[in-house]
Homo-oligomer: A and B are copies of this chain.
Amino acid sequence: DDVLRIAGVPFESRLFTGTGKYPDHAVMNAALDASGTEMVTVAVRYMDLDGERSILQDLDLSRYRLLPNTAGAKTAEQAVRMARLAREATGTNWVKLEVIGDDKTLWPDTEATVAATRTLVDEDFVVLPYTSTDLVAAVRLEEAGAATVMPLASPIGSGQGLPDWASISRIVERITSVPVVVDAGIGVPSDASRAMELGADAVLVNTAIAKADDPVAMARAMRLGTEAGRLSYLAGRMPVSPYAVASSPTAGVPS
């Protein structure tokens, strides 16, 4: 009954996953299974749309909603073109929009991302854009008709966690008409839990699972961390106190 809806589609799992960097497709599939995920993102460039054996042939698309992503796009135009290719090839109008503005950090170009979002929304895509922690960029994406807003926790693949959790909190507080999904940088389950405790609606995790020593075990750990954080958010955390507060009565110590 705690269901997340994106563009009207319900998700029981709030952990979205990727397909990059796994040792092989068998490990990937075992990890996806362990994660409980219901949506998996695949780079359009990975889809091998021309022929040969593609990742799409090894992914059970009856279990997972496919979310093509535009990784590698450096302009709005490239990203839009990738989204169209993906729709033609796979039939889905969902797209994880990435427009990268800096190669070293894979930082998003938010202005180009907003522009591409507008174009793709006009073409009836369901657009889930990757963005920075910039608050106003998040608002512009919401205004442009994005189906979610997906701020990074820290650079893609870095595993640094949420150093700028204050900015994530500001976005969660401000963006109320569509879900906020924390994407990129999550390294351990406590990061996923913290994002959810702050009120994020979901998280997207790829490298932290794929590059763990045991990806399948880590997939399950991320599932539990995400659920823990969501449940904690709903349960309402205790207040933080600057001082200690005794658990037990302080009177009546036997002398």
How many copies, total? 4
B190 touches A229 (CB 8 A): yes
Q: Do A227 and B229 touch across chains, with their CB atoms under 8 A apart?
A: no
Complex Cα distance, B137 from A194, in Å, reads 27
| With A193-B188, A225-B224, A254-B85 as contacts: A136 and B154 at CB distance below 8 Å | no
Q: Are A158 and B243 in contact (CB under 8 A)?
A: yes
Cα distance A102–B139 when bound, in Å?
9
- Whether A236 pairs with B212 at a CB distance below 8 angstroms is yes
Q: Is the CB of B246 within 8 A of A221?
A: no
The 10 A-B residue pairs whose C-beta atoms are closest, nearest first, are A213-B236, A157-B245, A101-B136, A20-B247, A43-B248, A155-B244, A224-B228, A217-B235, A189-B228, A221-B231
What separation, in Å, do the CA atoms of A141 and B45 have in the docked complex? 31
Chain B neighbourhood of A235, CB < 8 A: 212-215, 217-218, 221
Output the nearest chain B residue to A248 by Cβ-Cβ distance: B43
Whether B240 contacts A214 by the Cβ 8 Å rule is no
- Within 8 Å of chain B (Cβ to Cβ): is A239? yes
Q: Of B105, B217, B224, B241, which is within 8 A of A158 by CB?
A: B241
Q: How far is the CA of A240 from the CA of B18 in the complex (A)?
A: 18
Q: Which of A3-11, A59-67, A74-82 contacts B (4 or more CB under 8 A)?
A: A74-82
Q: Are B134 and A107 in contact (CB under 8 A)?
A: yes
Write out the residue numbers on chain B whose beta carbons fall within 8 Å of the beta carbon of A250. 72, 103
A255 at the interface (CB under 8 A from B): yes
Interface membership of A129, Cβ < 8 A: no
A133 touches B135 (CB 8 A): no
Judging by beta carbons under 8 Å apart, are B238 and A212 in contact? yes
Interface residue A58 (Cβ < 8 Å from any Cβ of B) = no
Least Cβ distance of A174 to chain B in Å? 7
Residue A25, interface by CB 8 Å: no
- Distance between A188 CB and nearest chain B CB, rounded to angstroms: 5
User: How far, in angstroms, from A139 to B114 measured CA to CA in the complex?
Assistant: 17
A29, CB-defined interface residue at 8 Å: no
Of B114, B187, B231, B252, the contact of A240 (CB 8 Å cutoff): B187
Q: Is A108 an interface residue (CB 8 A)?
A: yes
Chain A contacts with B in 200-216, Cβ cutoff 8 A: 206-208, 210-215
Report yes or no: B225 in contact with A221, Cβ–Cβ below 8 A.
no
- A249 interfacial contact with B, CB 8 Å: yes
29 A-B pairs whose Cβ atoms sit less than 8 Å apart in the complex: A20-B246, A74-B253, A78-B254, A101-B136, A101-B139, A102-B135, A102-B139, A104-B243, A106-B244, A106-B246, A110-B110, A110-B136, A111-B137, A132-B134, A134-B137, A154-B166, A157-B244, A157-B246, A188-B194, A188-B237, A189-B229, A190-B197, A207-B238, A212-B235, A215-B235, A217-B235, A218-B236, A221-B228, A224-B225
